């Protein structure tokens, strides 16, 4: 978990605005945090709550009892609501309203955080409107969405909307390298997610290097036609454990490698797999545009099938056969 100060590097305009509003006692009673997945909306909402209770105030310490309780979501005055299944139900908002009217044993402001409000049922939306139309002193609600276009104007008009920006790829690479990741790994990881916390988790995962090596070996086998790709895949057997995450990483990196080949074909110099420049140049002269487009589409189709719980072994075997032809 990053600190509020570190989030200032990721979403500086958001953090600065919230801290200044807090210091000047000008906080809005209702905020709408909107932005793409991975832009740290929920994390900063949690930091907002810690700011209210930490002894260090605008700079939460992350060590005190209040910070710890809020971080682990067991503070009675800070409530986080997430979808129950596919939707946020009316009963969840009614629970929120019930908590809203209670007198708590602990003094301090109440903070309510609702994730994915675009998934609210109609009844839940009506209940929410009543909730935010009648604000109490020292009560704050933060609504979170990745799809603001799906939010009713009656809700957005009652909130202060804060738009979270996607972390630029160069900034993510810089941030990862500043915290001990090699530049090559940071560059590769930056293509796999736009969430800085997920990026740290991926870069620290012991399986990542094995997946990168496998992608490079398979691409070399496909380009030079000196080894059977299916044998390389079978030797790794990372799909035997039914680890969908590793298969997803494999497909993501295989896709990025082929996009690197396409970039070189188009005369571009900036590629992700920097250590593979020579092999990628060879591939750019071995393949034609139709073949590389076919490869990219085949990998994209495999990614779609993966989301539908296809048999992992069969999925990858079929992909290798397609890429080989």
For the chain, give every domain's residue range.
4-163, 205-324
Tell me if domain 4-163 and domain 205-324 are identical in fold: no
pLDDT digits (tens, 9 = 90+) for 169-228: 888 899 899 888 999 999 999 999 988 889 999 999 988 999 999 999 999 989 888 778
Q: Which two tokens stand for residue 175?
A: 């941030």
At the top level of CATH, which class does the domain 205-324 belong to? mainly alpha
Residue 187: the pLDDT is 95
The pTM of the whole model exceeds 0.95: no
Which of 193, 192, 183, 188 has its CA nearest to residue 216? 188
Residue 239: the pLDDT is 57
Whether 146 and 37 have beta carbons less than 8 Å apart is answered as yes
CATH superfamily of 4-163: P-loop containing nucleotide triphosphate hydrolases (3.40.50.300)
Which of 108, 100, 44 has its CA nearest to residue 75? 108
Cβ burial of 41 (10 Å; 0-12, 13-18, 19+) is: buried
What are the angstrom distances between the C-alpha of 14 and each of 10, 59, 110, 121? 9, 14, 21, 29
Q: Which residues contact 163 (CB under 8 A, 6 or more apart)?
A: 34, 35
pLDDT < 70: residue spans in the chain: 1, 57-58, 235-242
- Dist. CA 81–CA 99, nearest whole Å: 12
Residue 52: the pLDDT is 87
Q: Which residues contact 100 (CB under 8 A, 6 or more apart)?
A: 110, 112, 131, 136, 139
């Amino acid at each position: 978990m990053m600190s509020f100060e570190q989030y200032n590097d990721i979403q500086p305009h958001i953090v600065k605005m919230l801290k200044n509003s807090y210091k000047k006692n000008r906080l809005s009673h209702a905020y709408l945090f909107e932005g793409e997945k991975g832009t740290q909306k929920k994390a900063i909402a949690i930091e907002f709550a810690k700011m209210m209770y930490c002894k260090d105030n605008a700079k939460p310490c992350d060590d005190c009892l209040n910070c710890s309780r809020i971080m682990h979501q067991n503070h009675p005055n800070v409530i986080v609501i997430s979808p129950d299944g596919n939707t946020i139900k009316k009963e969840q908002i009614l629970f929120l309203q019930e908590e809203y009217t209670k007198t708590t044993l602990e003094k301090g402001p109440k903070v309510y955080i609702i994730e994915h409000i675009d998934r609210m049922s109609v009844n839940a939306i009506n209940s929410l409107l009543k909730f935010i139309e009648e604000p109490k002193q020292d009560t704050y609600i933060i609504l979170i969405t990745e799809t603001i276009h799906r939010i009713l104007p009656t809700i957005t008009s009652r909130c202060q909307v804060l738009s979270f920006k996607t972390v630029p790829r160069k900034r993510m690479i810089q941030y990862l390298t500043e915290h001990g990741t090699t530049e090559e790994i940071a560059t590769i990881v930056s293509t796999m997610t736009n969430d800085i916390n997920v990026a740290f988790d991926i870069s620290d995962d012991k399986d990542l290097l094995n997946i990168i090596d496998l992608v490079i070996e398979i691409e070399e086998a496909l380009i030079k036609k000196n080894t059977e790709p299916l044998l390389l895949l079978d030797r790794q057997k990372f799909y035997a454990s039914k680890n969908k995450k590793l298969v997803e990483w494999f497909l993501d990196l295989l896709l990025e490698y082929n996009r690197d080949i396409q970039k070189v074909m188009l005369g571009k110099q900036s590629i992700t797999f920097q250590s593979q420049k020579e092999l990628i140049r060879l591939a750019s002269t071995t393949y034609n545009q139709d073949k590389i487009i076919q490869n990219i589409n085949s990998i994209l189709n495999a990614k779609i099938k993966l989301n539908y719980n296809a048999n992992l072994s069969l999925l990858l075997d079929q992909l290798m056969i397609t890429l080989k032809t």
